[in-house]
Amino acid sequence: MIARNVTSRARAGRAGAAVLAAALLAVLAALSGCASSTPSSPGPGSMAAGSADMAGGAAAQANPNLDTGTSLGGHPAPDIRLANQFGQPMSLTEFRGKVVILAFTDSQCTTICPLTTQSMVLARELLGKAAASVRLLGVDANPEATSVADVLAYSRAHGMVNQWDFLTGTDAQLKAVWSAYHIVAQIDRGQIDHTPALYVIDQRGREQKVYLTTMAYSSVGQAAQVLAQEVSSLLPGHPKLASEQSLAAIQAEAPTMKVSLPAVTGAGKVAFGPGSARLVVFFATWLSEISGLKSHLTGLNAYVQAARRRHLPPLAAVDETVTEPSAQAARGYLGGIGALSYPVALDETGRVADGYGVQDQPWLVLVSAKGKVIWSHDGWVPLSLLEAAAAARA
């Protein structure tokens, strides 16, 4: 059973987001029609490369955690006139001559938006020097957190203050933009539900593709590569990416598997897997911008003491490093909050988060000695309730 804390406005329901995403694709498919092109026959020298591309494309299409994009047929992108995180008025037309990656992002999101943001950053990094021809834009998709301070806080938390323009405006302005881009942003039972859409707009201001972020931590790098490949196809000379990886589905590392993750401090490792019951807390240091992260992490020292006294499952924490600005940033923050009585590991690939079913930050998981998830909780809980949950299932 998964217990959810529904009081936070920052959390998006996964089922709701899936419905919104499906609705967006249906609308966009109707607008773009069934445009297709007939490729020319490749010459002998390109046969091997073409076969490799086809194999990679097939792997990507078969990956359930990766959206390879939907063509929009080059329709003109609706203009956007909003203010960025510095309060400066901006217009989408200002960026003609650049390829624009545009994401609709909840300014208080702790679920899927950080994955979208990181994929944008990594995509631009893959383009190397050609990144100078690319601009990153975000549009706030939280109906209740639309101030300049809100978009600045999100930008600061994710190391994006000077890497993008995160746009916001009045309720009427935002609703007009959402409608123009077929985005649904709504409050559903205390949670924010919005379409997790990311658009690629070419140098002439035409919509080329739309992507929908999936709730899969391990696929952030793959999503970045797919995005970078699309942007490269629009740039002069089609610049080669700095690196490429397989786009085949990535195996998650479930609690039934023995896994060792790098520890936050030193060169040691933190072991996970079957053998003994354990309480695992997944988090990211950017939560410090929207919650009292330091007090929550240091407060868990009391659980460690209670666990020893009452023979409860020991505690370990996992930083979801794949969504951090960098592993160094995470280490720097954790090194400055004081001593913790439990091990903290870095999940640099996201495979452990996916294997443990993490849907939000923070996310608490109680695992049995056999590696079975027997309790999960979305959000922080008081120490007394945490002890009670562990004791009831120990």
Look up the CATH number of the domain holding residue 343: 3.40.30.10
Does 54 score more than 70 pLDDT? no
Name the residue range of residue 369's domain: 259-393
User: What pLDDT does residue 120 have?
Assistant: 97
The CA distance from 240 to 372, in Å, is: 44
Q: Is the same domain home to 277 and 344?
A: yes
In-domain check, residue 249 = no
In-domain check, residue 345 = yes
Structural contact between residues 238 and 232, judged by C-beta atoms closer than 8 angstroms: yes
In-domain check, residue 47 = no
In-domain check, residue 299 = yes
In-domain check, residue 44 = no
Q: Is the same domain home to 114 and 165?
A: yes
Strands (E), 96-221: 99-105, 134-140, 165-167, 185-188, 191-194, 197-201, 206-212
In-domain check, residue 42 = no
pLDDT tens per residue, range 276-327: 999 999 999 999 988 899 999 999 999 999 999 999 999 999 999 999 999 9
Which residues contact residue 21 at a Cβ distance below 8 angstroms, ignoring those fewer than 6 apart? 195, 196, 197, 212
The CA distance from 133 to 117, in Å, is: 18
| Domains in the chain, number | 2
pLDDT tens per residue, range 175-226: 999 999 999 998 877 788 899 999 999 999 999 999 999 999 999 999 999 9
Q: Is the same domain home to 25 and 171?
A: yes
Average pLDDT (119-145) is: 97
In-domain check, residue 124 = yes
Average pLDDT (151-164) is: 96
Amino acid at 58: A
Q: Is the same domain home to 95 and 156?
A: yes
The CA distance from 171 to 146, in Å, is: 8
CA dihedral sign of residues 145, 150, 151, 154: negative
User: What pLDDT does residue 392 have?
Assistant: 86
At 57, list the tokens: 């494309």
